Every structure is written in structure tokens, then in C-alpha cells.
Homo-oligomer: A and B are copies of this chain.
């Protein structure tokens, strides 16, 4: 976790205090149910909750000191709680194993992290929709291979991003369900010393579903899927970030990140206005992607579990969710305040001397009876002249002078093919598909 790429709400989720609070709640809920089942005295849970209602400060340093001796974090925590609550605390954790607590806690943390990320996605979707509507018919050149292709609208670009992040949201909702499970199944998952009803009860209290079959741990294919899903979302962030970086290039300059008063682009070159936010997002996307790998390697734990996944999750649990939260929020800000330059878009669109209309001429020629091969050759021949003139020549003018074209198409038919609005007739249909 890099502090400058972290926001408080998500960061707090991963701090020791937050973790211990969840540990306590799991233990107390379990003790509650164990009391109802008659396994432990009902007074035990009462003692725990009574203490909890005093809003006790979690003394992280004291717990750490105990762990330094036991080398076991859950035992250290239970010992500390027992010191606070007194004798009744000995009934805590009956029939449970550490992983019951640790894995269910991770589920709660990832579930809450997902709620934040889903809200982030909603904000991003809102910004994208708003700017897409604003630029629904702002004409701009579509590019394939970085080369001018045919006209699109800037709204379509944003609508595409909207649809992509909407898919990301669906994926994240599915991934969240994957990891929101609770396991209170004992040392090797057999419920040997704990009634499955305890698991069901704790799951309900925490908004989780019971894990159908656990070993000592909740199986790590769930987490692999979760972090892989975050990696896919990172890919979509990178895509939109790269789009904006391209649009802000000096020669293109169709859009720009907002440049605040007082901001400096370069220590050496006062004229610079750089797309630093989206470049920054590109790097963050690389990190979030990288975190999926160790999550995938974590799946193949030995037998009923080994603990190799644990150190990995101490890194990627916070790092992936905190960074993604930051990145989504940053991207939302970029979109929200993006400076869009429709005039420059039009200027770029026009700079190719009408080459962007080449396909329509090609189609018109074939429909007028010219073979596809001939039509292609005719248009390419004229297009290459325009290309080599760097936009000084006009495709329409050249075509008007081409005998083979004139034989097939009238001047009016030809001019009609150079109509920009023709390209946007389906924009409304597409918006309907995307925004419903």
C-alpha cells in the first residue's frame, strides 16, 4: 500500500483495530449460539457483549506483545480478550479453529471492500453517463491502429466505457458473492466439535452465506476469482486511461485532464500540461493486475490447508482493494472534469482531406455495378494521393475528376457520400442499448 494512493475509508478496513473488531464479533456471535445450544453457559456470550458495549479500545500493542511469545495471532487475541473480560471468556472459541476466525474475517473485509468498490463504480458510471450524454453528437474521428478510420462521436467513446464498467460491476457483484462466505467448521472442516448451526448463525449475523464444505480453510479458488476480477477491472481502467493519454497528445489534443491553478507540469519546461493522472492510473492498473497472480498460486494449498496463502493475503488483501478504490475514484475525477475540445476534434476529422469517407464511396461503386476489386483499386488510387499530400488534396475533388468514378456515380451521388451526419444515424439506437 502506498499512502498517496490510498483513501481512508478503504484503508481503515484493513487496519489492525478493524480486523480485531471483526474477530471479536465472530467469537461473540459463535459463543452466543453455543450458549443457545447448551454447549457453553449463556452467561459467556453475555459477558462478552457486555464488555463490548463499553466500547473498549483494542490494545494492538498488547496483543502484539502476547503474539511475540505464542507466535500465534488468534491465540494472542483470545488471551488478551480473556484478560479484559475475565473468567467467562474461557468459553470462547469452543470447537473452533483459528482459520474459522481468520477466513471469515477476510470474507467480511472483502465483502465490505466490495461495497466500497461497487459504490466507486457507480460514481464512475454516473460520470461516464453524464459526459456521454453531453457529447452524444460531438463528432470526432474514430481510429484503428492509431490511424484515422471513420467518424464516431465522443459520446460513443464514453458510452463504450460505460458499458465496459457496467460489465465490471456485474463481475464484481459475482466475485463479491464468491468470497462472502462464512466457515465455522472446526480444525479440518468436519464440525467434529462444533454444531453446523453455529456457522449458520454467525453467517446470518455478518451478512454472509455458510461455506458448503470447508477444509480447515475457505477454499482459495474463491479468492483467486475475486482478485482476478479486480485485475480485469484494472484492465478496463487502463483502457480508458490510455484513451485519454492519447487524446491529450500534443498533435491530437482533443481532450485534456483538468489542469488546476498553481499546478506545474515540469520543473524544466513551463509550457507542459501532462496527462499525469491517467499515466498514474496506467501504472496502478499494472499493480492490480499483478496481484491476481499470487492469488491464483494460492489455490493449491496442501491437503486441508497450508499457510502459504496467508503472507500473500496480508499484501494483496489491502493493496489490491485500496489501490483499486483509489484508481476508480481518480478516474471518476478525471472523467468528471475532463476538458473536451470539440473544435479540435472537428479540425482533426477534417485534416485527411475526406479520406474518412472512402468506404462509403467504395460501397456506392460496388452497388453501381463496379466489381469489389475494381472499386477498391479506384478508391485506393485516389486515397493514396490525398494521403501523400498530407490532407492538402481533397478526396472528393479527386474522385470527381476520376473517369471511372464519373462513369458510375453522379456528382450529387458522390457528394452525398461525404456527409458526416450519415455516420451518426444509429447513435441513438446504440445509446438506447447501453443506457436503456
- Residue A346 lies at the interface, judged by CB distance under 8 Å to chain B: no
A238–B160 Cα distance when bound, in Å, is 27
- Residue A61 lies at the interface, judged by CB distance under 8 Å to chain B: no
**CB <8 Å contact, A283 and B269:** no
Chain B contacts for A279, CB-based, 8 A: 145, 306-308, 310
Least CB separation from A243: chain B residue: B303
What distance in Å separates the Cβ of A177 from its nearest Cβ neighbour in chain B? 10
A228-247 near B? 1/0 per residue, CB < 8 Å: 11011011101101110110
Q: Give the interface segment out of A47-55, A112-120, A151-159, A401-409.
A: A151-159
**CB <8 Å contact, B219 and A224:** no
**CB <8 Å contact, B290 and A286:** no
With contact pairs A95-B363, A196-B429, A279-B308 given, residues A222 and B167 touching in the complex (Cβ less than 8 Å): yes
Q: How many copies does the complex hold?
A: 4
**CB <8 Å contact, B221 and A143:** no
**CB <8 Å contact, A286 and B312:** yes
Chain B contacts for A310, CB-based, 8 A: 279-280, 283
Chain B contacts for A229, CB-based, 8 A: 225, 228
- Residue A287 lies at the interface, judged by CB distance under 8 Å to chain B: yes
A393–B55 Cα distance when bound, in Å, is 49
**CB <8 Å contact, A308 and B287:** no
- Residue A85 lies at the interface, judged by CB distance under 8 Å to chain B: no
A423–B298 Cα distance when bound, in Å, is 28
What distance in Å separates the Cβ of A136 from its nearest Cβ neighbour in chain B? 13
What distance in Å separates the Cβ of A65 from its nearest Cβ neighbour in chain B? 12
**CB <8 Å contact, B71 and A296:** no
Chain B contacts for A427, CB-based, 8 A: 190
Chain B contacts for A300, CB-based, 8 A: 235, 238-239, 241-242, 282, 285
Most buried by B among A78, A236, A426: A426
- Residue A146 lies at the interface, judged by CB distance under 8 Å to chain B: yes
A412–B371 Cα distance when bound, in Å, is 64
What distance in Å separates the Cβ of A33 from its nearest Cβ neighbour in chain B? 16
Chain A: interface secondary structure?
Answer: helix
- Residue A42 lies at the interface, judged by CB distance under 8 Å to chain B: no
Select which of B188, B221, B383 is within 8 A of A149 by beta carbon: B188
- Residue A387 lies at the interface, judged by CB distance under 8 Å to chain B: yes
Q: Give the interface segment out of A103-111, A122-130, A351-359.
A: A351-359
With contact pairs A270-B358, A300-B242 given, residues A188 and B263 touching in the complex (Cβ less than 8 Å): no
What distance in Å separates the Cβ of A144 from its nearest Cβ neighbour in chain B? 5
With contact pairs A250-B352, A294-B290 given, residues A387 and B271 touching in the complex (Cβ less than 8 Å): yes
What distance in Å separates the Cβ of A299 from its nearest Cβ neighbour in chain B? 3
Least CB separation from A98: chain B residue: B267
What distance in Å separates the Cβ of A155 from its nearest Cβ neighbour in chain B? 11
**CB <8 Å contact, B148 and A2:** no
8 contacts between A and B (CB under 8 A): A98-B266, A98-B267, A142-B190, A150-B192, A228-B228, A268-B359, A269-B358, A283-B294
